[in-house]
Structures are given as C-alpha cells and as structure tokens.
Chains A and B, each alone.
Chain A
Amino acid sequence: MTDRAPDAGYEAVIGLEIHVQLRTEEKLFCPDGTGFGEVPNTNVCPVCLGLPGALPVLNREAVELAVRASLAFGCTVHQRSVWARKNYFYPDLPKGYQISQFEEPLATDGVFRVETDDTSDPVGRLAIRIRRIHMEEDAGKSIHDRFEGATAVDLNRTGTPLIEMVTEPDFRSPAQVRAWLTGVKQVLEYLEVSDCNMEEGSLRVDANVSIRPVGSEPLGTKTELKNMNSFSGVERALDVEIARQRDVVAMGGQVAHQTLLWDERRGDVRPMRSKEESHDYRYFPDPDLPPLQVSENLIEAVKAQLPELPAARRTRFREDYGLPAYDAGVLTARRPLADYYEETARTSGAPKEASNWIMGPVLAAMNARDLEADDFPVRPVHLAELIDLVEEGTINRNVAKDVLGRMLESAAGVEVGSAAAKTPAEIVREEGLATVSDTGRLEAWVEDALAAHPEEVARFRDGETRLQGFFMGEVMKRSRGKADPTEVARILTERLEET
C-alpha cells in the first residue's frame, strides 16, 4: 500500500528527522558501555546519572563515526561546531537538559540520492537534501506499562551517542520516504556507523508532513509524526496522516499544528498529550564543553577510510562481474553479503556461478538461520572450493547442494571460520561423492536399471521415448546421484536403441 496520490490538486510535502545511535563501545560523554538489553540502571556512572558535580568528557570514536556518516551523505563537515544544552524536564533526562548541537552543527548541506522505480522521477533517482547532521546524547527510557500507576525509568541508554539528520521537505509521497530511508539505512550499515535496528531504537524516524495545492509554493501547516518503529510503519503512518489532512481540508477545515503518535496496532495516529507550556528549550552553548574542533586531518583520515558505498558497489558488480542489475542489487543490499559475494567470486574465478549459489541456496540458508553473511558458517573460501568442484566436474550440481548441507552440519556448533568445519573437498572424499564417469561402473548401473524394469524397456522400444527420464532417475538412484549425467544419457540411448 503506497501512494494514495493526494486528491485532485493536492500534494504532500514531507521532511524527516532521523535519529541514529552510533555504534561506539562507550557512551558519548562518559566511559560506560552502550549495550542494549542489559540489567536496568547498571550501565551508569556519576556523569550519565547527572549527579551533582559530574562533567561530560567527549568520546573521540563517536565524533569519527558522525564525521563518517556526514561525509557519506555529502555534507560539509564544519571544523568548528558548538555543543548546546537543550533544556526540558523529563524523568529519563537526568540533567534536565540534553547535550546537543544547535546553532553550529557538525555538518550541513548534504544530498543523498537513491535509485527508485518511481515513475514520476524521469531519471529514476530520488535526490533528497540534508539540511544538517548534528551530534547529541540519547535520553534514558521511560517504561509506562510495567508498574501500576507508575512510570519506570531506566538510564542505561542515557548518554548513548546519536546523530540527528534533518532533511529538507523534499519528499512528495510516503513511498519516496520509504525508498530513501531504505537507502539511508543501507549506507549507515555499510559505514558500520549504526546497527540501524528500529525495533531496538537504534534508528528512529520522525516525519513532518503537510499538504498544499499542486503548484503552490508556500507550505501548509505541518504535523509531526512520531512513534513509527519500522519503515513500513513510517509509510503507513504518512498515508494515514495525509488522508486525514486531505479530509480536514476537504471539509473546509484547517490542519492544526500538532504532534501525532502512530499507533501501529490500530493503524491510526493520535495527538500527543498537550504539554503544559509550549516548547521553549532555551538552547545555549554548553559551558562545560568547549567547541568541537574537527581538523582537516581528521576529516581526511575519515575520508580515506570510507568504504565503497552501496550505489558504487552495485555499479561495479555489474561492470566487473557482469551481473544483471537485479543480482547486483540483492548482493549489495548489505555490506557483509557484498563482501561475502566478492570474496567468493574472486576466489572461485566464477562470478556468475558465485552469484547463482549465493542468491539461491546460500541466502536461503542464511535467512533460515537468521544469520548475517559474516556469521554464516560456510566461509567464502569453501563456497568457492565447492563451485570449483562443480566447474571441474568432480561433483555435479545436485551433489554439490548436498555437500553444502553437509558443510553446514559440520560447522554447527563450531566457531565461524574454524578449521574444525569440513571443507567441501573433505566431504566429497570422505563420502565418496565424486562424480563417476567410469564407463564400466556406469554401464553396470544402466544394465541393472534396465533389467529391473523390462516392461518399461518394452514400452520405450514401442515408441514411448519420454521414459528416458525415468531410466535416468533409476540409474541416478543406483549411483546415489554421483553418476555423470551426460555419460549416463549417452549409454542409455545406446543400450535402448540397440535392439
């Protein structure tokens, strides 16, 4: 469900605010760990508890990740940016302010493009401008449904580094938003900047949306949508909200500026409880933290380490390995998978075969086990070896699929990449799975199959030639799949046409 195009004459205008938790070992301003799902209120220290007298000390790794993301999204990274306090009261905000950046953010003016099949875009590319990327600390978690009449506060997440990306209102449909977000997530994963897990909250998307008559320049009154915890949720929430705004306008009403929460279960948006006073965050430069200086050297160093991004890799896979666009898209969707493919393709020297194997049985096995490519027990070097065995004719394709199964079995419970896991050659040798092309043995299996089915032989000779397949199967059964099918076909034809 996408793109209920706004009714005659109205278009939607959408902008996003994306919060991304950075994948650092330690918190932004104190050395506590950033693990998810730990015992509540244990990853805490005087700094993130906001104890009297505690002071923030900046994590370099977080700055580097934020710079990496800013560069990847085409932003200008500023040599000087300023930490600011955003003041508001909430039980999961221990200091009564959040350390963020306001007037002078880390990075500004980016553009990020994704390929889309949106027909309204003639070049098939959706370019969205990024107004700014700034760094800030995360708040803790308020849990409203655990205790009767009380909100429980867990401060483990407090101080986890975040970047906030703010886009220009460049989207015109919920489908565009979803496509673009998918691309953004892919890049963030490639950069190893974030886990991007919306359910765990390491990626959070809020949207601003308004509608206006097509061709009109000024923006309508926008509403803010929060509480979406998947990309499809974002898309559906926007669909619902755009429809609601259209109805309001159609009834002659005016859209009210408000914050709405998406209710996934009811498929509906509901206004957030109005605050006691309007937002007045009283931003000012944090006197505890001098401005952040990102030197030219640091920017250059981060730039030099930027990995190849998904779009470039897709193009290269098509050019270097001759893959069709679809395969290149699937194989580059996630960086570990792309690395896996590339290593397999290079080691085996058979890129097309490698693609077939990975897009087929390997991905199926990964999905069944819910594993990322880098945790998949069959390593690229072994998959390449398996492909080689097929290419050389040592085993046939069907046997090879069995061998892959055996490799997975032998690797179960063994550390990924461990020498204890069996190589395909070992399995083929130990189990005697190599293809049999020896004419003597093949002839014996053929004789046996024909002798067991005199009736079918007679029918074949009466012209029922489609029984050739039946005999082939019988021979394969007798050879436990190892018989060289080409040879078998030749011998069968010979024998059946003899008399």
Chain B
Amino acid sequence: MSVSREEVERIAALARLDVFGEDEPAAEGRPSAVRLTEELNRILEHIATLEEADISEIGDPIRLPSDPVPFRDPGLEPDSLAEGAPADRAPRWRDGFFLVPRLPALVDDEEDGS
C-alpha cells in the first residue's frame, strides 16, 4: 500500500495542516508534501506487516478497562477555571465571546476576509 502526493494533500487538508507542493515555495514550518509522502510511505511499508496477522478469530476488539463506563458521581462539581474566565487564555476575546474570522454560512454570503 502506498499513498500518492495528492492523497497526502487531501489528508493534510482534512487534518487542517498546511503542506507545500512541488510548485510552491518552501515556507518556514510548512512541511513539504513530497517529503511527507516519502516518509509516510516508508512507515506504511512497515505497517503492511499487519496484513499477515490472522484476525479471523477476533470478534470485538479489546477495550481497556473491561468494565462498562461508570456514571458520574452525583456530587461531582465542575473543576475550577482558576482565575475564573476562559478569557484569560483566549487568543481573541470580546464581550464574553471567543472570536474567529467570520465564517460564511451560505453560498451567497460574502467571502470571509477577502
């Protein structure tokens, strides 16, 4: 099993990571799609040994721990947010809200930011 550069770019988009292609200039911190493709293929080559395992007898995969999920203790309080508000850690915050660049909801909304 090997993976193509196009596939790597699709996966990167899915994971919200930026990679640069052959035709783009390298930028600091931006991994190269070509190199990632090579690396992933080397790893996948190793992982391919899994195909040799006989899993025919395995029904449900194991779960650790084997007990069912416990229910919350009725008295459990929410853990503290120390200094109080999520505002302290928010990169952008206004009037009690986290802010991000405007997300367009509809096709004919204006493109965000441009």
Question: Which residues of the other chain, A, contact B14 by a CB distance below 8 angstroms?
Answer: 277, 280, 282
Does chain B have a CB within 8 A of A213?
no
List A contacts of B103 (CB < 8 A).
Answer: 91, 142, 144, 151
With a cutoff of 8 Å between Cβ atoms, the chain A residues found around residue B72 in the complex are 26, 31, 57-60
- Give complex CA distance A224, B48 in Å: 39
Q: Which of B77, B105, B113 contacts A31, CB < 8 Å? A: B77
Q: Does A494 make an interface contact (CB < 8 A)?
A: no
Residues of B within 8 A of A280 (CB): 14
Q: Which of A149, A270, A290 contacts B101 (CB 8 A)?
A: A149
Chain B CB within 8 A of A473 CB: no
CA distance in complex: A146, B106 (Å): 16
Overall SS of chain B's interface: loop
C-alpha spacing A153/B70, complex, angstroms: 31
CA distance A270 to B66 in the complex (A): 48
Instruction: Verify B63–A276 contact, CB threshold 8 A.
Output: no
B30 at interface (Cβ–Cβ under 8 A)? no
Taking A151-B100, A153-B100 as contacts, is the C-beta distance between A45 and B69 under 8 angstroms?
no
Which residues of the partner chain B approach A301 to less than 8 Å between Cβ atoms? none
Q: Could you say which of B18-26, B38-46, B49-57, B91-99 contacts chain A?
A: B91-99
Interface residues on A, range: 35 or more
Please indicate the chain A residues that have their CB under 8 angstroms from the CB of B102 in the complex.
Answer: 144, 149-151
Cβ of A198 under 8 Å from chain B: no
Task: Assess whether A293 is interfacial by the CB under 8 Å rule.
Answer: yes
Given contacts A44-B86, A149-B101, contact A290 B68 (CB under 8 A): yes
Whether a CB of chain B sits under 8 angstroms from the CB of A147 is: yes
B105 and A291 within 8 A (CB) = no
**Is A285 an interface residue, CB under 8 A from the partner?**
yes
Name the B residues within 8 Å of A80 (CB-CB): 68
Q: Give chain A nearest CB distance to B64 CB in angstroms.
A: 8
User: Once bound together, how far apart are the Cα atoms of A46 and B67, in whole Å?
Assistant: 25
The CA-CA distance from A280 to B7 in the complex, in Å, is 14
**What residue in chain B is nearest A274 (Cβ atoms)?**
B107
B28 within 8 A of A: no
B90 to chain A, nearest CB (A): 9
**B76 x A57 contact (CB < 8 A):** yes
The answer for the CA separation of A49 and B87 in the assembled complex, in Å, is 12
Q: Tell me which residues from 2 to 47 in chain A have a Cβ below 8 Å from any Cβ of chain B.
A: 26, 30-32, 39-42, 44-47
From A42, A83, A153, A274, B99 is in contact (CB under 8 Å) with A153
Docked CA distance A206–B55 (Å) = 40
Query: Does A63 count as interface, using CB distance less than 8 angstroms?
Result: yes
A155 near B98 (CB under 8 angstroms)?
yes
Q: A58-B69, A89-B16 are in contact. Are A261 and B106 (CB under 8 A)?
A: yes
- A57, A152, A289, A291: the one within 8 Å of B98 (CB): A152
Given contacts A57-B72, A57-B76, A59-B71, contact A150 B108 (CB under 8 A): no
B69 to A293, Cβ gap below 8 A? yes
- Among A45, A47, A150, the most chain B Cβ lie within 10 Å of the Cβ of A150
Nearest Cβ on chain A to B106's Cβ, whole angstroms:
6
Complexed CA–CA distance, A413 and B93 (Å):
42
Q: Please report the C-alpha to C-alpha distance between residue A149 and residue B14 in the assembled complex, in whole angstroms.
A: 25
Contact in complex: B71, A273 (CB < 8 Å) = no
* A414 touches B (CB below 8 Å): no
Query: A499: shortest Cβ distance to chain B, in Å?
Result: 85
In the assembled complex, A272 has its CB within 8 A of some CB on chain B: yes
Tell me whether B94 and A152 are in contact (CB under 8 A): yes
CB-based contact B81/A45 at 8 Å: yes
Q: Is A271 an interface residue (CB 8 A)?
A: yes
A292 at the interface (CB under 8 A from B): yes
A291 and B107 contact, CB distance less than 8 A: no
User: A60 near B71 (CB under 8 angstroms)?
Assistant: yes
Q: Which A residues touch B68, using CB under 8 A?
A: 80, 290-293
**Interface: B83 (CB within 8 A):** no
Residue of A nearest to B75 (CB): A31
Chain B, Cβ-Cβ closest to A33: B78
Give the residue of B10, B69, B108 whose beta carbon is less than 8 angstroms from that of A83.
B69
Flag if A47 contacts B79 (CB, 8 Å): yes
Q: Which residues of A contact B106 (CB under 8 A)?
A: 261, 270-273
Decide if A484 is an interface residue (CB 8 Å cutoff): no
Return B92 CB to nearest CB of chain A, in Å. Answer: 8
Q: Does B29 contact A (CB under 8 A)?
A: no
Residue ID in chain A nearest B101 by CB atoms: A150
A261 & B101 in contact (Cβ 8 Å cutoff): no
A–B pairs, 7, beta carbons within 8 Å? A45-B81, A47-B78, A150-B94, A153-B99, A273-B105, A290-B63, A290-B66
Closest 10 CB pairs of A and B: A293-B68, A45-B78, A152-B97, A60-B71, A153-B98, A40-B96, A290-B69, A57-B72, A151-B103, A150-B99
Instruction: Please list the residues of chain B having a beta carbon within 8 angstroms of any beta carbon in chain A.
Output: 10, 13-14, 16, 63, 65-72, 74, 76-79, 81, 85-87, 94-109, 112-113
- 13 more contacts with CB within 8 A, not counting A144-B103, A285-B63, are A40-B96, A45-B79, A89-B16, A144-B102, A144-B105, A150-B102, A153-B98, A153-B100, A270-B106, A282-B14, A290-B68, A291-B69, A293-B69
